[in-house]
Structure 1
Amino acid sequence: MSNQKNQEIEVLRGVAVILVMLAHYPFLAPVREIYWLPVIQKFHFWAGVDIFFAISGYVVTRTILNLRTQPRREQADLLIRFWFRRFFRLIPMAWLTLLIAVLLSAFWNDRGVLKTPIGNITDAFFQLIYMSNWRAYWCSVNQSDFCGANTHFWSLSLEEQFYIALPLLIIFLRRKFWWLAVALIVVQFPLDRPLLSLFWVTRLDAMLWGVIIAVAEDNGVLSRIRPQFMNNTFLRRTLLPAIIILICWLVAGGHSRYSVGIVAILSGVLVWFASYKQGYLFKHADTFWRPIAWVGARSYGIYLLHVFCFLAVYELFYRIYGSNEALGDAEAVAVLSLGLAFTLIVSQITYTTFERPITDFGRRKAKQIKLPFQNGAQQTDGPIDPVKTNPVPATL
């Protein structure tokens, strides 16, 4: 299984985070309701998160599938190193963003939309214990000063819960674990999942489709069902936007109780196309689609930071003009444009100076850490050779 970075997956990440920002735009700038309400009544964009979920399920499962066949001691070794890497990939950047939220709510918050410092500190606590999705649900039905401005962290907590549970299921169920994935998809599919409802903030089906795609790839199934029809230029250029439009249409206005389940399937289809690295989804991903791939590589930071970057710019205009009523269409365009530029700049700075270095540090340390049970694995009845007993870290 190749570990070379899949540029089509990176482009798909970029598309997903762009959709999420579109979903949030009406609340991050003084855009008049007559402009955005008719749009989101027909097409909503929050399903970009489901594309993220499908990507995560696929990418993460590929890295830990060998847990199925390893002895118990090696499983523990691989599992701890996996969790160690995921911690440094996700948590430091999340904590940095939560700190920014607390500071902005304390010192740059005349409009009050960033809630209160105590609310954002409470958000940080729930993120610390990976429970932001449950908190997002609670805050959606209980207005409280102890709710902050970090609702979008719900998806991060759900993914963290997934990263804890998935490898354990692989260890205990081994090659049968994918049957549980299928069963959970079937159970969730008919559930009615309105926005920010309990079943909405705990949905797993898109991630589980990613799991199934990774298992199918590992078993050689994908090589036998290649979507060769996507080599047709007209079909590829038609089908990709059609799927994106259909996803956005399905989640607007609650067309059906099955909409979220269908969106998960379509998100899985996009990941399936991208998994081959053959240009089935994005031809010339390294050239024509390179700007979107650039966004995709920084999508984690963009997702976490964009709310606060836009609201910081919005706050600046509010202070200059004195009220929301004084902000017209021109100011709305300015806030959107400057907010986007500010988001990309801040995301690039944090990516190069914080996110990527911390992630690389976690990868290096995951290879170097010495686990307490490793020495026991080296015990023999004869004399111990200190060279031979020096443990070599296992890597994924």
Structure 2
Amino acid sequence: MSGKRIMDVELLRGIAVLGVLFHHLQGSLFTDSVPTLEKIHAWAQPWWGVDLFFAISGFVIARSLIPALHGCSTRQEYWQQTRNFWLRRAFRLLPSAWLWLALMLLACLLINRSGAFGSLHANLQATLAGVAQYANFRFADSFYNYEYGSSFVYWSLALEEQFYLLFPLLILLCRKHLVWALLALVAVQLFTLRTPILMVVRTDALALGILLAMWSAQPSYLRCEPRFLRRPWAGVSALLVLAVALSFMATDRFTFTNYRIGAIAVLSALLVWIASYNRDYLLPKGLLKNVMVWVGSRSYGIYLIHIPAYLLVRELIFRLQAAGLPSPAGHPILTIAIAGGLIVLLSELNYRCVEMPMRNRGAALVQRLSAPRSAVPSSGATSC
């Protein structure tokens, strides 16, 4: 069961990344005020997509890693499984992340006449933070203090990669007390005022995702399946209600701001719980779900690519205006359509040419390292 792809979780990935894309329209794609966006943002902020990503990551990773590590009979076997996990994660994440860091740095140097990509100094520092996995700490330090650079979304990737590095060690240290350690981690953050530094190390959604994965191996998990969502439109209504609640909580109109992130983490985990049964509760099968699952399957590339795509469209508009040529400036829908088309194209190319080939190479490497020395290496590669 742990290796099975869950389409409803892919759906949530699609929802999460589209929310982040919408959140970054103002400020990254549009520098001037867009009244419609401002009105929407006053009542609904979709940046909670990042916390939904965290809950999904905690669930998906723990669902396969915890049983694998608990099944180890020796310390050597434990570290071999941990090494294999780290290798698969590295081949899955780093090639695309480093590629787009390099491309953003090149864009800053070569196609930055408008200044959309920011200063070279900031981007050099941001690239170093992205490669060395401390982008979240630099992001907190730069908050309202200095320019971060065009790769600012890497703060969440750094946090997730720190989680991937430390989680096997947490399993080893806590052993049978892992559940209590995770519950304490959630409880402490739930009632803590989030300063900038605490915002970039927030792990409550990750911890809730892990707890959900651990619960999914228990008989009570099946007994608690929300079968009432099978009724027509019940699941879709639940998705809409939760999405609206999350979007409102993310605005300044939500007055209980001290508990905002904790509440968002809990509701994000609730969505992952519903999706984890893979029963089409949140959205029935059909064209819309197929599209959203495709978006979810490319969500990593989309997340990396959307900011450079937005900035590239800004640079294009600037050059067209400077040359006195027609441009989509002043036409927000057209501008969004151009940026969206660019994101779709680049994310598909990234998925086919970078993500999947490197994922398969990582799987093949793990297979070779794990095979007995006398065994003949297999020519096939399994997916990470």
Distance 1:318 1:52, change over 3 A: same
> Distance in 1 between the 2:377 and 2:113 partners?
57
Residues 137-194 of structure 1: CA deviation (Å, up to 9, x unaligned): 11114215xx321111000000001111111111222232121110010000022236
Residue 150 of structure 1 aligns with which residue?
151
1:319 equivalent in alignment to 2:319: yes
> Distance in 2 between the 1:116 and 1:19 partners?
27
- TM-score normalised to the size of structure 2? 0.91
> Distance in 2 between the 1:111 and 1:139 partners?
23
> Distance in 2 between the 1:255 and 1:40 partners?
16
- TM-score normalised to the size of structure 1? 0.88
> Distance in 2 between the 1:93 and 1:387 partners?
34
1:127 equivalent in alignment to 2:126: no
Distance 1:271 1:189, change over 3 A: same
1:233 equivalent in alignment to 2:232: yes
Aligned pairs (5 A) from 1:38-57: 38-57=39-58
> Distance in 2 between the 1:322 and 1:333 partners?
21
How far off is 1:26 after superposition?
A: 1.1
> Distance in 2 between the 1:287 and 1:232 partners?
20
Residue 342 of structure 1 aligns with which residue?
342
Residue 24 of structure 2 aligns with which residue?
24
The answer for unaligned runs of 5 or more in structure 2 is none
What is the one-letter code of the residue matched to 1:105? C
Verify the 8 A CA contact 1:50 1:206 in the aligned structure 2. yes
What is the one-letter code of the residue matched to 1:278? R
> Distance in 1 between the 2:96 and 2:374 partners?
39
* % identity of equivalent residues: 29
How many positions carry a matched residue from both structures? 373
> Distance in 2 between the 1:209 and 1:283 partners?
26
Secondary structure, aligned partner of 2:149: coil
> Distance in 2 between the 1:78 and 1:337 partners?
44
Residue 99 of structure 1 aligns with which residue?
102
Aligned pairs (5 A) from 1:160-199: 160-193=161-194, 197-199=196-198
Residues 187-239 of structure 1: CA deviation (Å, up to 9, x unaligned): 00022236xx1111111111111001000012233112111111112321211
Aligned pairs (5 A) from 1:1-396: 1-30=1-30, 32-66=33-67, 67-70=69-72, 71-144=74-147, 147-193=148-194, 197-253=196-252, 255-256=255-256, 257-284=258-285, 288-322=288-322, 330-369=330-369, 387=374
> Distance in 2 between the 1:37 and 1:16 partners?
20
Verify the 8 A CA contact 1:370 1:391 in the aligned structure 2. no
Report the more deviating stretch, 106-115 or 70-79. Answer: 106-115
What is the one-letter code of the residue matched to 2:99? L
The answer for unaligned runs of 5 or more in structure 1 is 375-385
RMSD: 2.4
> Distance in 2 between the 1:288 and 1:341 partners?
18
Verify the 8 A CA contact 1:68 1:171 in the aligned structure 2. no
How far off is 1:330 after superposition?
A: 4.0
> Distance in 2 between the 1:224 and 1:126 partners?
45
Distance 1:288 1:42, change over 3 A: closer
Report the more deviating stretch, 71-80 or 104-113. Answer: 104-113
What is the one-letter code of the residue matched to 2:202? R
Residues 253-296 of structure 1: CA deviation (Å, up to 9, x unaligned): 15321111111011001100011111222322x75400110010
> Distance in 2 between the 1:334 and 1:79 partners?
47
How far off is 1:312 after superposition?
A: 0.3
Distance 1:237 1:174, change over 3 A: same
Distance 1:273 1:322, change over 3 A: same
How far off is 1:126 after superposition?
A: 1.4
What is the one-letter code of the residue matched to 1:258? Y
How far off is 1:391 after superposition?
A: 11
Residue 377 of structure 1 aligns with which residue?
none
Report the more deviating stretch, 89-98 or 165-174. Answer: 165-174
Distance 1:149 1:272, change over 3 A: same
Verify the 8 A CA contact 1:274 1:282 in the aligned structure 2. no
What is the one-letter code of the residue matched to 1:214? A
Secondary structure, aligned partner of 1:185: helix
Secondary structure, aligned partner of 2:113: coil
Residues 59-103 of structure 1: CA deviation (Å, up to 9, x unaligned): 000111121342211111100000000001111110001011101
